Amino acid sequence: MATLPPPPPGQTPVTFAPPQRRSRLRLGTLLLAVGIVAWLGGLGGAVLGNQVADWWNSPPGRASDQPIDVAAPRPGFENRLDVARVAEYVAPSTVTVSADIGGGVSLGTGVIISDDGEILTNAHVVDGADEVRVRLMGEFEPRQVTVLAEDAGNDLALLRMSGEGFEAATFADPDSIRLGDDVMAIGFALGLDGEPSVTLGIVSALDRSVGQGDVYLDGLIQTDAAISSGNSGGPLVNAAGEVVGINTAVARDTAVFTATNVGFAISAGEALPIIESLRAQSAGEIREEAFLGVGLEDRRDGGQGVIVTNVEPGTPADEIGVALGDLIVSIDGSVTDGSSALIAAIRDKQPGDTVTVAIVRETESLEFDVILTARPG
């Protein structure tokens, strides 16, 4: 084996590591490189894992495809409502809703309607919210939710939280709801701490209508069960714990009228088709309200019907010859008890629907079939 010659005089000899030593250095360098790569991979995996976890835990942005649970028709109830039993049954399906709106917090109630996290509440509880949270019975921390869709005109909104296995409420068969039925309102009245409040009453009236601002509601259940701020969006239930309505409004004292225990809930018959409409909206379908094209004024003489005060040119009402002073007494055979009821009835229709409008003009009774158009704007 050849050997290196000795270095010239005055130079420091160069020492080479033995072959085995050089192999160990290569192995150490390799292990160090592998360690760094593994550490970087672990760090990246942790970051990616957190991102995946955040995505996984974030509330879904689409509606559930599960059908709403609606009870079979009932002939009636033999026993009075057992408050404690019904409250225990319904409470797991009832949530508190808090929404950050314009620097303040709006508080309300919601009801779980699917076991994969869909929640129904009032639109006025979450309208304009930057962030919405719900808290379930027995939980200490709120859950983030997505506002899937809102129908301000019918005062309902659809929310969704992540997860599954939730206890969804059952809706009563709309035709089984009767005057005088025992009902219980459940919700987070006044935002009080702890479990929801319950109040007991009866179905005081059916098919009520109310209107204020741009909200016109019909098919309402009137109840004397106390409804307070914070109850909005919560369920009104019968003796079987079935949802007969969504608590939405209460009559208030005015300079002319005094209200005592007069609350209103959006009936199951009105809410169920709106839920399907909200689901369609969340999937990108644009909901258009129907339009007749008249200005209205309520009668002040105690009679029924609504007085026409204006007919807009080129609208369906104008095309069929509705005139100023006409008295609209029914739509599709349903008596109009006021302008709120008529506006709500028209808005519940779809553009292109045909309705029969019954009119009294002086002493003459007239009927017109009119094709509704879409509401401008």
CATH topology of domain 59-286: Thrombin, subunit H (2.40.10)
User: How far, rounded to the nearest angstrom, does the alpha carbon of residue 15 sit from its chain's CA centroid?
Assistant: 81
Distance from C-alpha of 222 to C-alpha of 266, rounded to nearest angstrom: 9
Q: Give every residue of the chain whose pLDDT is below 70, as ranges.
A: 1-57, 213-214, 252-259, 377
What pLDDT shows up at residue 285? Answer: 79
Contacts of 288 (CB under 8 A, 6+ apart): 350, 351, 374, 375
CB atoms within 10 A of CB 332: 12
Q: In sequence order, what are the beta bridge partners of 111?
A: 94, 120
The class that CATH gives domain 290-374 is mainly beta
Question: Residue 356 belongs to what H/E stretch?
Answer: strand 354-361
Per-residue confidence (pLDDT) for residue 169, from 0 to 100: 96
**Per-residue pLDDT at 143:** 94
Enter the tokens of residue 190: 């006044």
Return d(Cα 372, Cα 81) in angstroms, integer. 43
How many Cβ atoms from other residues are within 10 Å of residue 322's Cβ?
Answer: 22
Q: Which residues of 13-47 are buried (b: 16+ CB within 10 A; e: fewer)?
A: eeeeeeeeeeeeeeeeeeeeeeeeeeeeeeeeeee
Residues contacting 146, CB < 8 A, separation 6+: 58, 59, 60, 61, 159, 160, 161
Question: CA-to-CA distance for 121 and 158, rounded, in angstroms?
Answer: 7
Q: Rounded CA gap, 203 and 231, in Å?
A: 17
pLDDT given for residue 330 in this prediction: 87
Catalytic residues: 124, 155, 232
What is the C-alpha separation between 80 and 205, in angstroms, rounded? 18
Confidence (pTM): 0.74
Using only C-alpha atoms, what is the Rg of the chain?
33
| CA 265 – CA 267 distance, rounded (Å) | 6
- pLDDT at position 239 is 94
